[in-house]
Amino acid sequence: MKFSHSFRVSAEDIDVQSHVNNVAFVRWIQNVAVAHWFSVTTEETREKFTWIVMRQEIDYKKQAFENDRVTIETWAGEPTRISWERFTEIKRGEDCWSKPEAFGV
């Protein structure tokens, strides 16, 4: 099940090169992953289980700028015995800026 969140890029996300800093992308990915987790789990489940990121890979396809409207979609891949993939797309409209992939346990 895909989960999405939309927002506008804030001034705090902009670096000295006048575009979104890569740290902001990582923060956005983390925030949407946590929001997704809370949307599909109960409090009881969250008390028993948690997840951590083992590895994250991000391909930056386009730059993002202040006031751009961003939509982030995320979904979990098929789980293995001890891990799973998390997929994310960061978009402006239908224009995909980035396709991060994370592996968690």
Residues in the chain, total: 105
Taking only the tens of pLDDT, the chain with its 105 residues reads: 899 999 999 999 999 999 999 999 999 999 999 999 999 999 999 999 888 888 888 888 888 999 999 999 999 888 888 888 888 989 887 777 666 666 554
Rounded distance, CA 32 to CA 100, Å?
A: 12
Closest listed residue to residue 51, CA positions, set 40, 66, 65 = 40
Could you tell me where the beta strands, DSSP code E, fall in 9-99? Answer: 53-57, 69-76, 84-92, 95-98
CATH of domain 3-104: 3.10.129.10
The 8-class DSSP code of residue 16 comes to: T
**What pTM value is reported for the model?**
0.85
